[in-house]
Chains A and B, each alone.
Chain A
Amino acid sequence: MACCAMACPSNTKEELLANPHIWKPGSLPAGRPAPLPSGFAELDNWLDGGWPAAAVTELLLTGEGIGELRLVLPVLQKLQQTPTTGARGQVPQPQGRQHFCWVNPPYIPYAPALARHGLDLSRLLVVQPESMNDALWAMDLALRSQVCAAVLGWFGQINRPAIRRLQVVAEASACPGFVFRAARFARHDSAAPLRIRLAAAGDGGWQLDILRNRYGRTGRLRLSC
């Protein structure tokens, strides 16, 4: 923004704020592609329609096996059924992205359970890199490949520029990315426009703390499955 201001020093504050690249809290970015319904009506309300279709969503997990996959499986199912089409803004949503790339999953994604949840296994690509750098590189590549309907990545300690890069790539190639990290990274700075801390609630549901939300308000909600 500094360079923009320097280029046109006569701009008033209002003119500057009219720049579509500046996000104002509570406002919907003009070029936001149609969100992806999450399968949970209440969550869709909070997120103004669903998971962002061209951004990185950071899910911070308070534990493993708390149903973190069940939260995103509905959207993966929908993505494989209908090729993403109409866009609300200018960002085009290309068709023909059929694959789901899972980068650095902590355990074996268990095929029988995935199939039972309605995932088409032939579209799944599991990448197991040796190092965190490779994992970031693989996720970056998958996001920009124009082949993936969604990319899921599991990371530990990654720095802000890395997440920022993933976010930029996801935005540019209009591909949703889900980053799973441990909840202790919640206090670390992150460039993801949507950050949710996920904890298990007693009945097999979840308690979601929306820490950062470009598409709506932040706060706590409970979901049951």
Chain B
Amino acid sequence: MLKRGRRFAQARLPAVAAPTGQAARPAAGEPSHSDWPALPEAPGHNLWLAISFIPLNTELERFLSSENWRGQLARWALNYTPVVSVDPDGALLLEIGGSLKLFGGLQALRQRMQAALAEQGVTAVLACAPTARAAGWLARAGMAVACTAAPAAAQALGAVPVAALGWPIRVRQKLQQMGVHTLADCRRLPRDGFARRIGREYLQAMDEAFGNRLYQPLPYVGPVLFRDRLELSGETLDAAVLLAATDSLLQQLQAFLRRRQAAVQTVLLRFEHTGCPPSRCRVSGGQALTQTGHLLELTGLKLERMALPEPVTAVALAARAQPESVYATADLPGVAPAVAVDPARRAQLLARLQARLGASRVHGLALVAEHRPEKAWHVREQGHRPLLSTGQRPLSSAGQRPLSSAGQRPLWLLQQPRRIEQPDAAVFLRHAERIESGWWDGHDIRRDYYSVSGPAGSRWWIYRDCRDRHWYLHGLFG
């Protein structure tokens, strides 16, 4: 002990057992004269791993503190746990309590991360502790320890030099003058004195490190938009090359989605040319996808149809991650797939058809309550939403029933009524049905419909327009 520290040494009191309620309460309140609260045993199941990077020179240091690099590292860390935080001083904090089983234990996980870091050419210290603050401090101090239990962590923390905590120089000097060098020394000081002389925030930080105060670091949230661009080695119009480039971009996208635990529905592709504006193409999977294999297939179908004006120099891909609705589970090998109601398959069929043929060429049918035959139905767009609805609606529900007053209708309708010669009187099979409607929208009709026998035993649905007195073929009884 140095001179100045003597006053504190005198004030040191024997440990007093604090009431449990008081000990459990975060010590943010009044600093009492009681001793430091005892470490609570295993607060939750938290286990934090901190990674502190060791800069080898100033240039590297600048690079390490850059936003880009941190984001990259944080995204890498998301491979191991969903809870990642970037410390203000550049260390990464990972909550790994929930990942241990998956990666085969703490030792295996640490080795794995060490290897991955070494592969990237980064020197780093990995420290584990039950609290985020403790792990961060241990890593900062260069102590590559793995403490899973609170007492072990407290012991390791005690040896951390105050100088390594990144506290301001004023605080460090003051502590040094008091003869306080490590955290263990700090904890020997009375709390209220420490708060008054050094600062309350440092007291709180220590409480957080020792688990007496809750500290949840701000989690890292990655970008929602995925953008990537791939420069081709040469200009090409070869669909296979373009598809390969798209494939590699989609694989990046898939890794991005896995880290975010997100899905994607639509990707935008941009094929860049030298002499003209880029060609764009929108590939929609029809549903939220976590695997991008289906999108690649759809891109292939699109590329077949696309007329690229010039050779392509680069391919760019943009997509927005969205929360995945349901975890898609793959069938077990050897087990017959349950085909029950599988909306994913329906959506896949539709997306494939629309990708190759164009959205307008794939449609459903719906009824319209209307007397004019050509307006009594309409095309039901097959968008991403209703997707061949499952058909649970009863047949007779409203809107599914044709107008009851209508006479017999043919199964085939011609796109445009075809003008015919006046039929022979012998071929008429049925009395006329007059349809006169539509005066309100300018498309009014007045027609007498007959069914007649056509060539080769067919039956036609024809009408005579009461205005121009001509005969038209409008449908076939298929």
Contact = CB atoms under 8 A, between A and B. Distances in A.
A69 interface: yes
Contacts of B16: none
A13 interface: no
A31 interface: no
A56 B351 CA distance: 25
Interface residues of B, number: 56
Nearest to A110: B413
B356 A134 contact: yes
A8 B95 CA distance: 63
Contacts of A138: 353, 356-357
Interface in B460-477: 460, 475-477
Nearest to B382: A125
B342 interface: yes
A110 B364 contact: no
A122 B386 CA distance: 10
A90 to B, nearest CB: 12
Nearest to B376: A112
Given A125-B364, A130-B361, A65 B460 contact: yes
A201 B459 CA distance: 11
Interface string A129-154: 11000100110011001111000000
A136 B390 CA distance: 26
Given A63-B456, A95-B340, A127-B362, A110 B377 contact: yes
A118 B395 contact: yes
Contacts of B155: none
Given A63-B456, A125-B362, A130 B412 contact: no
Interface in A113-132: 113-118, 120-130
Contact of B412 (A80, A106, A112, A121): A106
Nearest to B349: A145
Interface string B382-426: 100000111101010000111100100111111100000000000
Contacts of A69: 411-412, 478
B307 interface: no
A129 B349 contact: no
B357 A113 contact: no
B364 A126 contact: yes
Q: Which of B339, B342, B345, B414 has its CB near the most chain A CB atoms (within 10 A)?
A: B339
A109 interface: yes
Interface string B406-449: 10011111110000000000000000000000000000000000
A165 interface: no
A68 interface: yes
A116 B409 contact: yes
A112 B371 CA distance: 11
Interface of B: 336, 339-342, 345-346, 348-350, 352-353, 356-357, 361-367, 373, 376-378, 380, 382, 388-391, 393, 395, 400-403, 406, 409-415, 454-460, 475-478
8 contacts: A62-B456, A63-B456, A105-B412, A108-B414, A110-B475, A122-B400, A145-B348, A201-B457
Given A106-B412, A110-B373, A113-B410, 5 more contacts: A67-B477, A107-B413, A107-B475, A110-B412, A128-B362
